[in-house]
Amino acid sequence: MFRRDGPVQGAPEPLAGALRACKRHLLTAGVFSALVNVLYLAPTLYMMQVYDRVIPTGGEMTLVFLTVVIVFALGTLAGLDAMRSRLLIRAGLRLDRLLAGEVLGRVMARRMGPGAPRAGQAMRDLDACRQVLSGPGVLALMDTPWTPIYLLLCFFLHPLLGALTLVGGALLLTLAVLNERGTKSKLQAAGQAAAAAYAAQEAVGASADVVRALGMRQAMVGRQLAERQNATTLQAGAQFLGGQYSGAIKFLRLTLQSLALGAGAYLAVEGQISGGAVMAASVLLSRALQPVEQVVGAWAGIVQGRAALRTLVELFEQSPPEVRATALPAPKGLLQVESVTVRAGAEQFLLKNVALAVRPGEIVGLVGPSGAGKTTLARIAAGALSPDHGVVRVGGADVKDWGGDRLAAHVGYLPQDSALFAGTVRDNISRFAGWTGAEAATIDADVVAAAMAAGAHEMILRLPQGYDTALGPAGRGLSGGQAQRVALARALFRDPVLVVLDEPNSNLDGEGEAALLNAMRQLKARGAAVLIVAHRTGVLAMADRLVVLRDGVVEMSGPRAEVTARLAAPEATPAPRPETKRLKAAS
Q: Choose between 494 and 538: higher pLDDT.
A: 494
Q: Are 184 and 160 in contact (CB under 8 A)?
A: no
Residues 167 and 54 in one domain: no
CATH number at residue 140: 1.20.1560.10
pLDDT at 476: 83
User: Stretch 554-560: mean pLDDT, rounded?
Assistant: 92
Q: Within 13 Å and on the Cβ side, how many CA atoms surround 568? A: 13
Our measurement of the distance from residue 254's CA atom to the centroid of its chain's CA atoms, rounded to an integer in Å, reads 42
Strand partners, 557: 547
Residues 264 and 124 in one domain: no
pLDDT bin (cut points 50, 70, 90) of residue 81 is very high
pLDDT bin (cut points 50, 70, 90) of residue 94 is very high
Residue 130 CB neighbours (<10 A): 21
* Domain assignment present for 125: yes
State pLDDT tens for residues 400-409.
888 667 888 8
Closest to 490 measured CA to CA, from 380, 398, 413, 570: 413
Weakest-pLDDT range from 67-76, 125-134, 313-322, 416-425:
313-322
For the chain, the C-alpha Rg in angstroms (whole number) is: 34
* Domain assignment present for 483: no
Q: What percent of the chain has pLDDT above 90?
A: 35
* Domain assignment present for 95: yes
CA–CA distance, 200 with 206 (Å, rounded to integer): 10
Cβ density class 367-403: b for 16+ within 10 Å, e for less: bbeeebbbbbbbbbbbbbbbbeebebbbbebebeebe
* Domain assignment present for 153: yes
pLDDT at 10: 58
pLDDT at 325: 67
Cis preceding-peptide flag for 415 (omega within 30 of 0): no
* Domain assignment present for 465: no
pLDDT at 572: 44
pLDDT at 118: 58
Domain count, the chain: 3
pLDDT exceeds cutoff 50 at 451:
yes
Most confident residue range from 39-53, 197-211, 288-302, 424-438 = 424-438
pLDDT exceeds cutoff 50 at 4:
no
pLDDT bin (cut points 50, 70, 90) of residue 586 is very low
pLDDT exceeds cutoff 90 at 462:
yes
pLDDT at 407: 85
Q: Which of 297, 326, 357 corresponds to the end of one domain?
A: 297
What's the sign of the alpha-carbon dihedral 214, 219, 221, 224?
Answer: negative
Start-to-end CA distance of the chain, whole Å, equals 61
Burial (Cβ within 10 Å: 0-12, 13-18, ≥19) of residue 265: middle
pLDDT exceeds cutoff 50 at 488:
yes
Query: Across all residues in the chain, what is the average pLDDT?
Result: 84
Residues 75 and 199 in one domain: no
pLDDT bin (cut points 50, 70, 90) of residue 167 is confident
pLDDT exceeds cutoff 70 at 550:
yes
Q: Are 390 and 453 in contact (CB under 8 A)?
A: no
* Domain assignment present for 460: no
Residues 209 and 235 in one domain: yes
Q: Are 523 and 499 in contact (CB under 8 A)?
A: yes
Residues 45 and 146 in one domain: no
Phi (first) and psi of residue 323, to 5 degrees: -85, 130
* CA angle centred on 520, ends 496 and 583, rounded to 5°: 130
pLDDT at 114: 41
Q: Are 377 and 351 in contact (CB under 8 A)?
A: yes
Residues 204 and 237 in one domain: yes
Angle between helices 578-586 and 560-568 (to 10 degrees): 140
CA–CA distance, 43 with 150 (Å, rounded to integer): 13
Residues 379 and 506 in one domain: yes
Residues 123 and 145 in one domain: no
Weakest-pLDDT range from 311-315, 425-429, 444-448, 560-564:
311-315
pLDDT at 453: 95
User: Stretch 278-285: mean pLDDT, rounded?
Assistant: 82
Q: Which of 297, 320, 350 corresponds to the end of one domain?
A: 297
User: Stretch 152-177: mean pLDDT, rounded?
Assistant: 85
* Domain assignment present for 315: no
pLDDT exceeds cutoff 80 at 214:
no
pLDDT bin (cut points 50, 70, 90) of residue 239 is confident
Our measurement of the distance from residue 366's CA atom to the centroid of its chain's CA atoms, rounded to an integer in Å, reads 35
Residues 97 and 147 in one domain: no
pLDDT exceeds cutoff 70 at 320:
no
Distances (CA, A) of 546 to 369, 534, 560: 14, 11, 5
User: Stretch 33-60: mean pLDDT, rounded?
Assistant: 87
Q: Which of 78, 101, 133 corresponds to the end of one domain?
A: 133
Residues 521 and 394 in one domain: yes
pLDDT exceeds cutoff 70 at 80:
yes
pLDDT bin (cut points 50, 70, 90) of residue 119 is low
Q: Are 504 and 540 in contact (CB under 8 A)?
A: no
Residues 158 and 258 in one domain: yes
pLDDT at 431: 92
Q: Within 13 Å and on the Cβ side, how many CA atoms surround 139? A: 21
Burial (Cβ within 10 Å: 0-12, 13-18, ≥19) of residue 538: middle
What's the sign of the alpha-carbon dihedral 468, 470, 474, 480?
Answer: negative
pLDDT bin (cut points 50, 70, 90) of residue 587 is very low
Most confident residue range from 166-170, 200-204, 333-337 = 333-337
CA–CA distance, 346 with 474 (Å, rounded to integer): 33
Question: Mind giving me the DSSP string for 46-78?
Answer: HHHHIIIIIHHHT-HHHHHHHHHHHHHHHHHHH
pLDDT at 103: 86
Amino acid at 486: V
Residues 166 and 155 in one domain: yes
Q: Are 250 and 199 in contact (CB under 8 A)?
A: no
User: Stretch 235-263: mean pLDDT, rounded?
Assistant: 83
pLDDT at 575: 46
State pLDDT tens for residues 181-202.
887 788 778 877 887 787 777 7
* Domain assignment present for 210: yes
Amino acid at 507: N
User: Can you give the residue range of the structural domain that contains 382?
Assistant: 335-424+496-586
Q: Are 456 and 509 in contact (CB under 8 A)?
A: no
Q: Within 13 Å and on the Cβ side, how many CA atoms surround 261? A: 9
